Amino acid sequence: MLSPLVVSLLVGVTPAPARFDQTGRSIGAPLSDRTASYVLEARYDPATRHVTGTARLTWTNRSAVPQSTLWFHAYWNAFKNADSTFSQETHRAGGARSSTAAYRRDDWGWTELRSARLPDGTDVRSTLRWEQPDDGPSADQTVFTLTLPTPVPPHGTLTLDLGWEARVPKLVARTGVAGKFTLFGQWFPKLGVLEVPPQRGLRTPTWNCHQFHAATEFYADFGNYDASLTVPRSLLVGATGVRTGRTENPDGTVTHRFHQDDVIDFAWTAWEGAVEASDVFLSDGLPQVALTVLVPPNATRSTPQILAAARATLEHGGRRWLPYPYPHLTLVAPPISSNVESGGMEYPTFVTVYSRTDPVPPRDVLLWEVTVHEVGHGWWQGMLASNEFEEAWLDEGVDTWATAEVLDGVGLGWDFAQLAPPGARWLLAPLLRSSIPDAEVRGRSSVPRYQSTIVRPGWRFKGSSDVGRSTYGRAAAALRMLEREVGRETFARIMRTYAERWAFRHPGTDDFLQLASEVGGKDLRPLGSALLRGTAGLDDAVAELRCTEVPAGGGPGLYDVDGGTPVFRPARLTAGETAEARCEVLVERHGDLPLPLDVQLTFQDGTRSRHDVPDGERWSRIATRRPLPGGRVALAEVHPGSPPPADTAPLNDARSLAATPGPTLGVAGWLLYAAQLLAVAVGSLL
């Protein structure tokens, strides 16, 4: 295979200078503060599903306060028993992904710290104490603390050698074993984050180390990761970072070594039977990125599309947000039967995507959407490492917005016909054919009221659908609401500045809103807070539009004529009299989002009038009186020209005087037809 440099010369592309060398080590100044770095060594025996490992942790106390207690995650204990926080929450709330509810005896997994030695040889393992900072069940063992004999001084550095063992669980929540496929996510004892003032409004340094919840993802400091992974020779290994070594061992195992500076995590897969493919992302003015794809053998036809989607994201993100600095990106499409459980997850420079045995050419929206989304996380979590436990929208919501941007950019919408299984596509395609922008697919709500605020800890949402809808689509719609306030170009500048300024740091919601207001030239915090920290939704509607035709001189009744005796005037037009149209428009506000409500009326003669509904009013009736012909209100619209993306029922934003029988007959006819088919199907059994 040609080297990336040769390829770039051949295709005449001039990439930007690399930020990392070919071993994943940074060139020049570090990109991050490298608070927590790990040298990991692990040996995996797939026969027993046993992992033994060591981790040399180098941690810097960023605070001005000595720290004698270190907080760690032991994520795999979430899968240790039915009393863990994860198990209890998944049993209670359910969700698309499975839980430990159906686990059998051998399915459970665990992780156990065996030693924790300081450089002087002192083992502080005996100080281990299980913690439940989120008031979870006392049986939960996903967070522990170690107490040091001597505190780490302010801005001092600690080195700690951890030894641990683990049993890999049956595949659940994007980690574990499924047949010959093993995904290692959140797999080693990992330090929590010591947040220091003024980070996210804190006044004192505080450890942020939450239990493993069913509906949360993760939060970690940046650092350098060097991992040596020993597995049987038959296993193909893909991992975070750049492969820096491969050593055959006498016992039939192979040690794979990977390294990457300035990342927040390290994940890997060991997979017997996977098919590997490589490519290089090359684009003028952007750093080149080597791409590796692992797919199941029955889905190799997906590989070109996965690579194309990754390249499209690197191109779009590199130009619109921030050049992707890492030299290597690994994309893993798990076995088909494990797609839901393990596909669609992001780790630094390592993501899991989907594959299909028969992808729809040339662009399968299912493959593209998930690949774009997961690669997009490389920015919104991989580089802007927000606290996903507490503010998941900063990753998922922003990335959902970004996914729609990329897909719109390449002109790809959702065609549900592509979701039909092979063998039935030719039959089902006409029934499902569609082209719906990605932004309209996710997170639509049918009511202008929400159960939860968007910004809240992930375990405090009402259920899995609530957390998903809030932190993904609703949050993305909130961003588009802000975009509506400042315009598309300004908002693009906001997002670019946000990425540039907060890359390799830990932004919070207030940081984002502050920056958006600053760059947008407008205080976006009130609207942003209402959208993100409130439950108010938006549904402004034109509820009624009526017009009547009356004589210009007035309706029926008695009228003074020239100050004399009242004269009766009939309802119908008299000879020589002109008529006028009296129209009434009723505008209603069904939601509580305090957005200015303006109304535009378009008359039959083409003229227009604008009306503002006073703040705080939930409805307004607008009356017009204009001469005919042309005096009737042909169209009444709220928010004319710029429909709010958060509106839960955009259809009722406009109402015409003329009937629109097409949609009515279309929907009613379809409902009738569907009911007829249901009746005839049931009738087949009678």
Partner 1 sequence: MRRLLEALRVGLREWRTVAVLLWANWLVAGLMVAPAVPRVVAAFGHAPRAAGKPLLSTELLLGLGSVFEGGGTPSVAAPLLLLVVLQTFLAGGVVWRACAGGPFRLGAFLGQAGRLVGRNARLYLWLLLLLGGAALVPAALALGMHALGLPTVFTGPAETWLFGRPFTAWSVLHLGVVALSLALWRLSLDVGRVLLFRDDLRVTRRAAWRAVWLVVRAPGSVMLYAVLGALATAAVLLAARGRASLPEGNAGLALLALGVGQLVLWIRLAFQVAGTAFAASLVVALADVAAVERPLADAPPG
Which residues within the stretch 220-259 sit at the binding site for partner 1 (CB under 8 A)?
A: none
- E strand or H helix at 509, and its extent? helix 509-520
Q: Of the two residues 423 and 563, which places its CB atom closer to partner 1 in the complex?
A: 423
Kindly report the CA angle at 154 between 148 and 160, in degrees rounded to 5?
A: 35
Q: Which of 191, 310, 538, 545 binds partner 1 (CB under 8 A)?
A: 545
Q: Which of 250, 430, 606, 641 binds partner 1 (CB under 8 A)?
A: 430
One DSSP character per residue, 188-225 reads S-EE-EEE-TTGGG-SS-EEE-----TT-------EEE
587 part of the interface to partner 1, by CB under 8 A? no
Q: Which of 1, 571, 575, 680 binds partner 1 (CB under 8 A)?
A: 680
Other beta carbons less than 10 A from residue 367's beta carbon: 25
Q: How many residues bind partner 1 (CB under 8 A)?
A: 71
One DSSP character per residue, 544-575 reads EEEEEEEETT-SSEEE-STTSS-EEE-SSPPT
Amino acid at 612: D
683 part of the interface to partner 1, by CB under 8 A? yes
HSE of 111 in the Cβ direction (CA atoms, 13 Å)?
31
Q: How far is CA 634 from CA 422, 498, 626, 683, in A?
A: 47, 44, 12, 46
Amino acid at 341: E
Q: Of the two residues 64 and 432, which places its CB atom closer to partner 1 in the complex?
A: 432
Q: Of the two residues 29 and 651, which places its CB atom closer to partner 1 in the complex?
A: 651
Site residues (CB under 8 A) for partner 1, limited to 351-370: 354-358, 366
Farthest-apart Cα atoms in the chain, separation: 119
Q: How far is CA 155 from CA 33, 60, 67, 87, 621, in A?
A: 12, 6, 10, 38, 64
Which part of the chain contacts partner 1 (CB under 8 A), choosing from 99-107, 215-223, 230-238, 676-684?
676-684
Q: Of the two residues 311 and 655, which places its CB atom closer to partner 1 in the complex?
A: 655
The DSSP bridge partners found for residue 626 are 581
- How far is 438 from 414, CA to CA, in rounded Å? 6
Which part of the chain contacts partner 1 (CB under 8 A), choosing from 68-76, 145-153, 227-235, 419-427?
419-427
- How far is 190 from 73, CA to CA, in rounded Å? 5
- E strand or H helix at 340, and its extent? helix 339-342
Q: How far is CA 52 from the centre of its chain?
A: 33
Q: Of the two residues 189 and 334, which places its CB atom closer to partner 1 in the complex?
A: 334
Q: Minimum CB separation from partner 1 for residue 15, in Å? A: 34
Which part of the chain contacts partner 1 (CB under 8 A), choosing from 126-134, 245-253, 284-292, 440-448?
440-448
558 part of the interface to partner 1, by CB under 8 A? no
660 part of the interface to partner 1, by CB under 8 A? yes
Q: Of the two residues 25 and 639, which places its CB atom closer to partner 1 in the complex?
A: 639
Three-class secondary structure assignment of 585-628: EEEEECCCCCCCEEEEEEECCCCEEEEEECCCCCEEEEEEEEEC
Q: Minimum CB separation from partner 1 for residue 671, in Å? A: 5
Q: Which of 156, 421, 554, 630 binds partner 1 (CB under 8 A)?
A: 421
554 part of the interface to partner 1, by CB under 8 A? no
- How far is 187 from 550, CA to CA, in rounded Å? 78
Q: Minimum CB separation from partner 1 for residue 98, in Å? A: 11
Which candidate, 527, 436, 529, 522, places its Cα nearest to that of 487?
522
Site residues (CB under 8 A) for partner 1, limited to 596-655: 635, 648-655
Tell me if the bond preceding 640 is cis, omega within 30° of 0.
no
Is 228:257 a contact under the CB 8 Å cutoff?
Answer: yes
Q: Which of 416, 465, 501, 620 binds partner 1 (CB under 8 A)?
A: 416
Which part of the chain contacts partner 1 (CB under 8 A), choosing from 119-127, 322-330, 424-432, 525-533?
424-432
Q: Of the two residues 444 and 460, which places its CB atom closer to partner 1 in the complex?
A: 444
Is 308:366 a contact under the CB 8 Å cutoff?
Answer: no
Site residues (CB under 8 A) for partner 1, limited to 325-354: 336-340, 354
Amino acid at 280: V
Q: Which of 422, 521, 570, 627 binds partner 1 (CB under 8 A)?
A: 422
434 part of the interface to partner 1, by CB under 8 A? yes
Which part of the chain contacts partner 1 (CB under 8 A), choosing from 10-18, 262-270, 434-442, 579-587?
434-442
Q: Minimum CB separation from partner 1 for residue 665, in Å? A: 4
Site residues (CB under 8 A) for partner 1, limited to 255-314: 298-299
Q: Which of 150, 204, 548, 664 binds partner 1 (CB under 8 A)?
A: 664
Which candidate, 366, 371, 301, 295, places its Cα nearest to that of 334?
295
- How far is 211 from 85, CA to CA, in rounded Å? 7
Which DSSP category does 151 fall into? Answer: E
Specify the 3-state DSSP secondary structure of 367.
helix
Q: Minimum CB separation from partner 1 for residue 593, in Å? A: 15
Q: Of the two residues 528 and 650, which places its CB atom closer to partner 1 in the complex?
A: 650
Q: Of the two residues 229 and 622, which places its CB atom closer to partner 1 in the complex?
A: 622
Q: Minimum CB separation from partner 1 for residue 417, in Å? A: 9
329 φ/ψ angles, rounded to the nearest 5 degrees: -135, 130
656 part of the interface to partner 1, by CB under 8 A? yes
Q: Minimum CB separation from partner 1 for residue 299, in Å? A: 8
- How far is 436 from 414, CA to CA, in rounded Å? 5
Q: Minimum CB separation from partner 1 for residue 607, in Å? A: 18
Q: Of the two residues 122 and 434, which places its CB atom closer to partner 1 in the complex?
A: 434
Residue keyed to tokens 């750093």: 287
Q: Minimum CB separation from partner 1 for residue 469, in Å? A: 12
Site residues (CB under 8 A) for partner 1, limited to 442-501: 444, 446-447
589 part of the interface to partner 1, by CB under 8 A? no
Is 264:222 a contact under the CB 8 Å cutoff?
Answer: yes
Q: Minimum CB separation from partner 1 for residue 436, in Å? A: 6
Q: Of the two residues 154 and 643, which places its CB atom closer to partner 1 in the complex?
A: 643
Q: Of the two residues 446 and 565, which places its CB atom closer to partner 1 in the complex?
A: 446
Q: Minimum CB separation from partner 1 for residue 316, in Å? A: 24
Is 194:119 a contact under the CB 8 Å cutoff?
Answer: no
